[in-house]
Amino acid sequence: MDMRTHDGSADVHPGAVDTGHSFRRRPDERIARAIARALGDAHHVLNVGAGTGSYENPAHTITAVEPSLAMRAQRPARLATAIDAVAEDLPFTDGRFDASMALFSVHQWSDAEAGLREMRRVTRGPVIVLTCDPARVRDFWLYDYAPDVLDTEARRYPRLSRLAGALGGTVTTRPVPIPLDCTDGFNEAYYGRPELLLDPAARQPCSAWSFIDDRARQDFDTSLRRALGSGAWDEAFGHLRHRPTYSGSLVLLRATP
Ligand SMILES: C[S@@+](CC[C@H](N)C(=O)[O-])C[C@H]1O[C@@H](n2cnc3c(N)ncnc32)[C@H](O)[C@@H]1O
């Protein structure tokens, strides 16, 4: 599925275009540290699919690429103005950047492999990709309550072997532990706080929710509320309320030439 917004960016249901995206997309400092470690001592960093600039670190000189006008417009004034371009056709010379990153973005590209080859071309050092492993997306309690959402996510995320193949060189793939009080707003961030996912505003940043219809959203709401009320959720998954971190489908790929 490759739906397009009015301004050309891929993959978000037209009725759910960008507004409020940054509302629950507050970068999590622990995830930010994992990204910073992967970028190493890079100075000039390219951020592809930069969105509103989550995880752009002031310690770096950032060049941001973002095809969505709505997203570019939401970038805070303190951040670099994003260039209107796509990963698949980066307007930069070979080896221009010390490092590059694509965070929560490759699943939206029309050709993930072409985009990653482009990132490799324009980057001297590490290329890092924060994404979800489609093989693990359904291993999450949410699958019991919103299977269509996670089926959608599992279809959208490219297989990690495809990403690694396109990046070439030496690729390491590490799970990113998600903290219990994660401030970022992707589904697994709520692994131990299920009540929060009942708030539509919490679900809004995850575009997979925009692919399901009102009836499926209502079914999710009803079944999760019922399971929380009856204690069934806690019986099955209550241990997660106290688990300090969760290793789910979130992974960080790091490729060096
Ligand atoms: C879920 S947002 C993530 C934004 C940001 N990286 C973050 O972590 O907050 C995915 C972004 O990828 C962008 N995108 C979609 N297709 C793209 C493409 N072909 N090339 C580059 N970026 C793309 C979207 O416009 C969107 O801003």
pLDDT, mean of residues 36-47: 97
> Ligand 1 centre from 48 Cα, in Å?
7
Atom of ligand 1 nearest to the CA of 55: 8
pLDDT, mean of residues 181-204: 95
Q: Is the CB of 22 under 6 A from ligand 1?
A: no
pLDDT, mean of residues 205-222: 92
Q: Is the CB of 63 under 6 A from ligand 1?
A: no
Q: Tokens at residue 215, please?
A: 């009836």
DSSP string, the chain: ---B-TTS-BSS-GGG-STTGGGS-PPPHHHHHHHHHHHTT-SEEEEET-TT-TT--TTSEEEEE---HHHHHTS-TTSPPPB--BTTB--S-TT-BSEEEEES-GGGSS-HHHHHHHHHHHBSS-EEEEEE-TTTTTSSGGGGT-HHHHHHHHHHSPPHHHHHHHH-SEEEEEE-PEETT--S-SGGGGTT-GGGGGSHHHHTTSGGGGGS-HHHHHHHHHHHHHHHHHTHHHHHHGGGGG-SEE--SEEEEEEE-
| Of 42, 142, 158, residue with least CA distance to 110 | 158
Atom of ligand 1 nearest to the CA of 5: 25
Q: Is the CB of 49 under 6 A from ligand 1?
A: yes
Higher pLDDT, residue 2 or 146: 146
Q: Which of 99-108, 116-125, 206-215 has the lowest mean pLDDT?
A: 206-215
pLDDT at 202: 92
> Ligand 1 centre from 95 Cα, in Å?
22
pLDDT at 239: 98
Residue closest by Cα to atom 10 of ligand 1? 105
For residue 2, what pLDDT band results from cuts at 50, 70 and 90?
very low
Q: Is the CB of 68 under 6 A from ligand 1?
A: yes
Q: Is the CB of 126 under 6 A from ligand 1?
A: no
> What value does the mean pLDDT of the chain take?
91
Q: Is the CB of 87 under 6 A from ligand 1?
A: yes
- pTM of structure: 0.91
